[in-house]
């Protein structure tokens, strides 16, 4: 009973400290403390946190002696302490829309199992209070590959919710949007509106009349405008909801993986000291001239925020069938021809070379989104001559996603010293769908993390949130189990061990972000970025990893989240 009361008292103290300045010295002990140092799991009895850094790692006896009598002694009560999580790729700015909008994710993340349930969820969300946030009825995360009808909703479906107010819903991939008739009107999209380069306005069968579905660059610029807060008060509400979601899943460093105008809002939040964790942005190549010369592009964070480099997008979504491939999809999208292979976002190699060369000249880190093998071919053939011209020492360019990567491309990326941030979350969410659209044999090879690792590439894994919930324990589980919704194993030979998967969201991801000296492992002198888990991902049966919960998140020694 005394032990139970002690744990309750300590928990209350931690909650209190999460609202105040952290104690100067804290000692953590009494659980499994996983350091993430080395190629195999290593544990210690205790760590000492002095202000914002780890000052001791070792035995409990020595830790208590070093900390002194005035330290806060935290008994983990059997829970697991490890370094805080660093997602290899996500879109922090958009966590808010997932946290606040109608949640249209399919089970198990939400209840959007078919079009009637999508309509129902939007009707429930459609209140004056919610509309006031952005001026739109909006929801995120619908998935045509999973819902019963296996098709996109259209304006006719959304008009059943309302024709008075504009509606926009975004696809789980983040590469498509659907709007109702009022939404098309506000966006000024008519039968006479041409398709933009790198995008497509889907039409009614047999006519040019828009059916409400917008692809890629026909969608993304409008998405940013329609699902943006219209007032400062709404903006703060969005920001706090998104940040709370991040810390509840153990993030101590988050990435804004394609920053445009949202950079300015994040910079304002940093200036106002509202960030609880570190956020690093990668500026879309169209905006680098505007933002890369500001104070935010720096080695060190300013109040928790900085720009880390440039983002380039070469194609679309594999599950949405806009990834650019060298061979046709077996199941083309509605209205597409049988030889449909997706399409590029930047059709001319010359244009991409100019974009990349600007980064080489300025020594900017480049994150490149490429899912289809044709897009990765373009990436390789434009990067290679530039590395020969400018050198390639420790640039740490990153391939984002790489779902349909070929083995020969992995070899090329190793030669080019490109870090592969792959996306094994697809094996659960879309593994069955990939088998339908590209064939079972190729579908087994998506996100080949084991092959990449065995070939000597540096890798990370990621959520791409809000494509899915920013639940990094589910990411670890998918990398380890690779089990689809139907229960089929997707590429058994591509599994990681639990420890490798944890490395990919801690020490390896810290390296990707040029922060390996400060983050990613529990070592003296590193930041006290920590997460407390209710169970140890290395010890539990693999199928249970997805159910592990974050009990506490600690950023630079300060508790920023405690689960009730």
Q: Where are the domains of the chain?
A: 1-84+520-564, 95-226
- pLDDT digit of tens for each residue in the chain (564 aa)? 433 333 333 444 444 434 344 458 999 999 999 999 999 999 999 999 999 999 999 999 999 999 998 899 999 999 999 999 999 999 999 898 888 999 998 888 889 999 999 999 999 999 999 999 999 999 998 989 889 999 999 999 999 999 999 999 999 888 899 999 999 999 999 999 999 988 999 999 999 999 999 999 999 889 877 778 888 999 999 999 999 999 999 999 999 999 999 999 999 999 999 999 999 999 999 999 999 999 999 999 999 999 999 999 999 999 989 999 999 999 998 889 999 999 999 999 999 999 999 999 999 999 999 999 999 999 999 999 999 999 999 999 999 999 999 999 999 999 999 999 999 999 999 999 999 999 999 999 999 999 999 999 999 999 999 888 899 999 999 999 999 999 999 999 999 999 999 999 999 999 999 999 999 999 999 999 999 999 999 999 999 999 999 999 999 999 999 998
Q: Which residue has the tokens 């061990």?
A: 497
Which string of b and e fits 107-128 if b means at least 16 CB within 10 Å? eebbebeebebbbbbbeebbee
Pick one of 3.40.190.10, 3.40.50.1820, 3.10.310.70, 3.20.20.60 as the CATH number of 95-226. Answer: 3.10.310.70
Q: Which residue has the tokens 């999809």?
A: 329
Per the CB < 8 A criterion, the answer to whether 413 and 399 are in contact is: yes
Q: Which residue has the tokens 């190629």?
A: 39
Residues 6 or more apart whose CB falls under 8 angstroms from that of 176 comprise 152, 170, 213, 214, 215, 216, 219, 317, 320, 322
Alpha-carbon Rg of the chain, whole angstroms?
Answer: 23
CATH class of 1-84+520-564: mainly beta
Report whether the peptide linkage leading into residue 466 is cis, meaning its omega lies within 30 degrees of zero: yes
DSSP strand pairing (550-555 vs 530-533): antiparallel
Q: Which two tokens stand for residue 105?
A: 């994710």
Residues 6 or more apart whose CB falls under 8 angstroms from that of 358 comprise 285, 288, 310, 364
DSSP strand pairing (210-216 vs 199-203): antiparallel
Helix (H) or strand (E) holding 326: none
Q: CA separation (Å) from 378 to 89, 352, 354, 365, 373?
A: 21, 9, 13, 18, 9
- Whole-prediction pTM value? 0.88
Neighbour tally for 352: CB within 10 Å: 22
Q: Which two tokens stand for residue 442?
A: 């190729």
């Amino acid at each position: 009973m005394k032990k139970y009361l002690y744990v309750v008292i300590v928990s209350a103290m931690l909650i209190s400290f999460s609202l105040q300045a952290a104690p100067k010295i804290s000692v953590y002990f009494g659980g499994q403390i996983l350091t993430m140092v080395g190629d195999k799991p290593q544990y210690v009895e205790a760590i000492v946190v002095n202000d914002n850094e780890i000052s001791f790692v070792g035995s409990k006896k020595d830790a208590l002696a070093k900390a002194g009598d005035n330290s806060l002694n935290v008994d983990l009560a059997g829970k697991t302490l490890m370094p805080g999580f660093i997602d290899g790729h996500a879109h922090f700015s958009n966590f808010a829309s997932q946290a606040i909008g109608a949640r249209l994710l399919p089970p198990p993340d939400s209840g959007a199992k078919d079009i009637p349930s999508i309509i129902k969820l939007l009707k429930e969300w459609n209140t004056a209070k919610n509309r006031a946030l952005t001026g739109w009825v909006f929801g995120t995360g619908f998935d045509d590959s999973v819902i019963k009808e296996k098709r996109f909703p259209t304006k006719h479906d959304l008009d059943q919710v309302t024709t008075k107010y504009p509606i926009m819903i975004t696809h789980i991939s983040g590469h498509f949007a659907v709007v109702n008739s009022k939404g098309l009107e506000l966006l000024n999209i008519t039968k006479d509106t041409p398709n933009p380069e790198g995008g497509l306005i889907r039409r009614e069968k047999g006519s040019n009349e828009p059916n409400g579905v917008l692809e890629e660059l026909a969608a993304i610029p409008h998405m940013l405008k329609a699902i943006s807060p219209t007032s400062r008060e709404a903006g703060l509400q969005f920001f706090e909801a998104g940040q709370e979601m991040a810390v509840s899943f153990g993030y101590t460093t988050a990435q804004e993986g394609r920053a445009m105008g949202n950079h300015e809002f994040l910079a304002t939040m940093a200036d106002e000291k509202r960030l609880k964790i570190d956020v690093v942005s990668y500026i879309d190549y169209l905006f680098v001239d505007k933002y890369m010369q500001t104070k935010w592009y720096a080695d060190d964070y300013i109040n928790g925020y900085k720009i880390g480099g440039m983002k380039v997008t070469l194609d679309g979504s594999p599950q949405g069938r806009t990834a650019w491939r060298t061979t046709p999809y077996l199941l083309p999208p509605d209205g597409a021809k049988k030889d449909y292979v997706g399409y590029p976002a930047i059709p001319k190699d010359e244009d991409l070379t100019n974009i990349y060369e600007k980064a080489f000249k300025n020594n900017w880190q480049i994150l490149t989104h490429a899912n289809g093998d044709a897009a990765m071919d373009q990436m390789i053939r434009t990067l290679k001559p530039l590395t020969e011209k400018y050198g390639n020492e420790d640039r740490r360019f990153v391939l984002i996603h790489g779902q349909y990567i070929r083995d020969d491309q992995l070899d090329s990326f190793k030669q080019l010293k490109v870090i592969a941030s792959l996306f094994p979350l697809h094996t659960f969410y879309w593994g069955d769908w990939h088998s339908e659209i590209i064939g079972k044999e190729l579908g087994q090879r998506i996100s080949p993390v084991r092959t990449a690792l065995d070939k000597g590439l540096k890798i990370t894994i990621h959520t791409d949130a809000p494509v899915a919930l920013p639940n990094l324990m589910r990411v670890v589980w998918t990398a380890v189990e690779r089990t689809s919704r139907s229960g089929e194993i997707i590429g058994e030979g591509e599994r990681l061990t639990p420890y490798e998967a944890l490395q990919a969201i801690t020490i390896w991801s810290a390296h990707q972000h040029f922060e390996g000296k400060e983050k990613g492992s529990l070592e003296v002198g590193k930041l006290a970025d920590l997460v407390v888990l209710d169970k140890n991902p290395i010890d539990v049966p693999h199928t249970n990893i997805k159910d592990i919960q974050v009990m506490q998140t600690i950023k630079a020694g300060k508790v920023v989240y405690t689960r009730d």
